Amino acid sequence: ASPSSIASAAGCAISPRRRGIPARHAPPWQKMFIQGLLTAALALSVSHPAASRASASRKASLIGSATMAANDSAFSSLDEYLGHLASEAALPEGFRIGNCGFEFEPSEAATGTRVKMRLTLIVADKPSSSFAAVFTKNAFCGSPVTVGKRRMRESPTLQALLVNNKVSNVCAAGDGVADSEALCEALATALELPDGAASVLPSSTGVIGWKLPVPEMRAAMPEAVASLQAGSALPAAQGIMTTDRYPKLRAASVCGGRIVGIAKGAGMIEPNMATMLSFLLTDVAVPRAQLQAMLSRAVDVSFNCMSVDADQSTSDTLVCLSSEAKLLCPEGASDEEQV
C-alpha cells in the first residue's frame, strides 16, 4: 500500500520530483502522524466505490497503528458503499458535524429559478491552535480562499469550518470577501465562539459568477447548528458534494488517536494545489508549524499528483484541524515514552 502503488491503481503517476516524504530524521511520532495523514489523503484522492474496499483480513500496516485497508473486490451497490463509509465515519474526539438544506433564487438566473444549497458545519469543542491548510495556486482564487489565507496569516486559533455547495463565491457581483466574512460572523455569533469570526474558516464550491445568498444562508444557520452531532462525519461528506457521484470519506488510526478525512471534487483538478475541497479532522494535538509541514508533505505525494480536466480550480482548499483532545508526546521524549 505504498503511495506509488495506490497512485498507479488510480491511473495517476507520482512525479520524480515528489518521491516519498522527507521525514527520515523526524521523531517516531511525527513519522507515524505523517503516514496517517498520507493514508487519508491518498485514499481520498483515489476514492471511488469501485476502488478497493475494506477487509479485516487484508489490512496492510503502514507505520505503527496507521493502517489502510486493501481488497481487490469492488462494491456491488451504492448502498453497500455508503454502509462501508458509515462504518468508518466515527468522528475524532472533540468534533461535531451539522448541516441543512434550503432553496434560494439566484439573481443571476432566470426569474423564478429555485436551486438547492447545503450548508455544512464542522465544529471543534474548543478553539484550537493546531490547524493547517493549503489552497489553490490559481491567481484568480475565490473570495473564501482569500479569507482562508487571511485566517492562516492572522488567526491564532480555529474552531469552525463553514462550507456551502452550489455557489463558489468567485467572480460574483458585490464584495465576495465581505459576504464570506459576514457568514463567518453569523456562525461565530450562533455558536458563541470565544474567538469570534476570526476562528471560522469558510469554503465555497459550485457555480462561478453567482453571488452567495447571504440572507438565506443566515436564515438557515440555526437549523444547521441545531443538527450538530458528535457521531458521524458522513453527513458532512454528503453535504459538500456538487457534481460528485459519490461521497468520499476515509479514516486512519494513528498515535493513539484518529484521523478522518472527507473530500469533494469531480473535475477542474490540477496539480500543485490542494485539489478540490477536503477536510482532515484529528483529535491528536500537533504543534501548528509541524502540522503544516506534515500536511504539505502528505499533499505533495497525493492530491498534487492528480490531474482531471487540466484546469486549476479557483476554490480548492484542504484544511487539517485538530481538536487537541489528545496530547502527543514531546519531541524530546524517548522512544519508550512515545510508545
Q: Is 210 exposed, middle or buried (0-12, 13-18, 19+ CB in 10 A)?
A: buried
Report CA dihedral (109, 247, 148, 66) to the nearest 10 degrees. -170
The single residue listed with the C-alpha cell 483480513 is 57
Spatial neighbors of 167 by CB under 8 A, at least 6 apart, are 106, 117, 204, 206, 207, 210, 211, 212, 213
- Point out the catalytic residue in the list 275, 282, 314, 317: 275
Dist CA 27 CA 290 (whole Å): 12
Alpha helix segments (H runs only) across 28-158: 28-45, 78-87, 143-154
Asked if 18 and 304 count as a contact pair (C-beta separation under 8 A), the reply is yes
Among the listed residues 318, 338, 306, 315, the one whose alpha carbon sits nearest the alpha carbon of residue 6: 306
Asked about 275 being catalytic, the answer comes back as yes
Dist CA 144 CA 179 (whole Å): 9
Asked if 161 and 193 count as a contact pair (C-beta separation under 8 A), the reply is no
Asked if 279 and 237 count as a contact pair (C-beta separation under 8 A), the reply is no
CA 228 to the chain's CA centroid: 18
State whether residue 80 is helix, strand or coil.
helix
Catalytic residues: 275
